[in-house]
Chains A and B, each alone.
Chain A
Amino acid sequence: MAIDKFLVEASHIMMFARSVGDANPIYHDEDYAKKTDLGGIIAPPTFAQSSAQFDPDYFLRPKIGGEGWFGSGKEASGAKPSKDSGGSGGGAAMGLHAEQHFEYHKPVKAGDILTATTKPGNSWEKESKRAGKLKFSESVTEYRNQDGELVITATGVGVQTERAVDS
């Protein structure tokens, strides 16, 4: 995955914060945020995950005029997803998400324009009673701001399971 332009916008931060149950005014009230040491609205700690919105090839989003969608419509299953079209910062595109790690180098602020580049990391296999053979793979995404400064390093671990996991 490579994202050329991840526009960090205040309204997107507000919606993201709501979805994770966070009423902190630093995520939606500019007047309040300006008076803090941070000087403005910042992104919550897991916000980088929403860079998927800016990944043109992200395969877990229905595409306009695209190849169809694998969720239910008239039938319970729609089109098959194409496996090789775009992963993202997390592990979601590689199956289920097993782990996620963030390192914060600088606060991400509303108004920032980020770029992201992802490299594959380690991969390994494990046997599991609940889900059969598990194939783990790691991806490391570096987010940089408009000044070229590294702001976040995100490491996702995805797992492909042999069968559905029920806990």
Chain B
Amino acid sequence: MLKENEIKVGDTHTAVLVEDLKRTQIVQYAGASGDYNPLHTDEIFTTQVAGYPSVFAHGMLSMGLTGTMLTDYVGDGALKKYGVRFTNQVWPGDTLTGKATIIEIREEDGSKVIDLMIETTNQNDIAVITGSATATIEA
């Protein structure tokens, strides 16, 4: 868990979430999450029937990858809130970088928390996820 005297508003944490996303990792997420929508795993259906240029990642895979960056930063069991908007699709071959920025340090229900702004971008610097989180810190 982060300590209050070691952080300040404006601090950032960044991490490369995935390099050259493979279709197999999307399949892996489909199996673990239970979301077998063919748009994510079935290239033939997705290109020939649904009309997309290729399969694409579950939004929740991007949120999960971003969550890995987030919990690596704030620690285990520290998150109180985590929410995102899926702003662009993530395609096989994409490289994603996640960034969390501390925007406020405050008290909530008698404990110290931080509010974070979150953004995950692809290799073209286009945001695929924007969001926010709140995490408990040590006073």
Contacts and interface: CB of A to CB of B under 8 A. Distances in A.
Interface residues of A, number: 50
B31 A15 contact: yes
Interface string A78-92: 100000000010101
Given A45-B82, A102-B81, A72 B67 contact: no
Contacts of B79: 45, 102, 104
B58 interface: yes
Contacts, number: 155
Given A62-B36, A164-B50, A103 B59 contact: no
Interface in B41-79: 41-42, 44-45, 48-53, 58-61, 63-65, 67-68, 70-72, 76-77, 79
Contacts of A167: 88-89, 126
A83 B25 CA distance: 28
Contacts of A5: none
A9 to B, nearest CB: 12
Nearest to B39: A96
Interface residues of B, number: 48
B33 A49 contact: yes
Given A36-B76, A49-B35, A101-B84, 15 more contacts: A19-B61, A20-B67, A21-B17, A24-B71, A38-B76, A58-B34, A61-B36, A72-B42, A90-B59, A96-B59, A99-B86, A100-B83, A103-B80, A104-B82, A167-B126
14 contacts: A15-B32, A19-B33, A20-B29, A20-B65, A21-B17, A21-B65, A44-B68, A44-B71, A45-B64, A78-B45, A90-B35, A102-B83, A104-B80, A166-B52
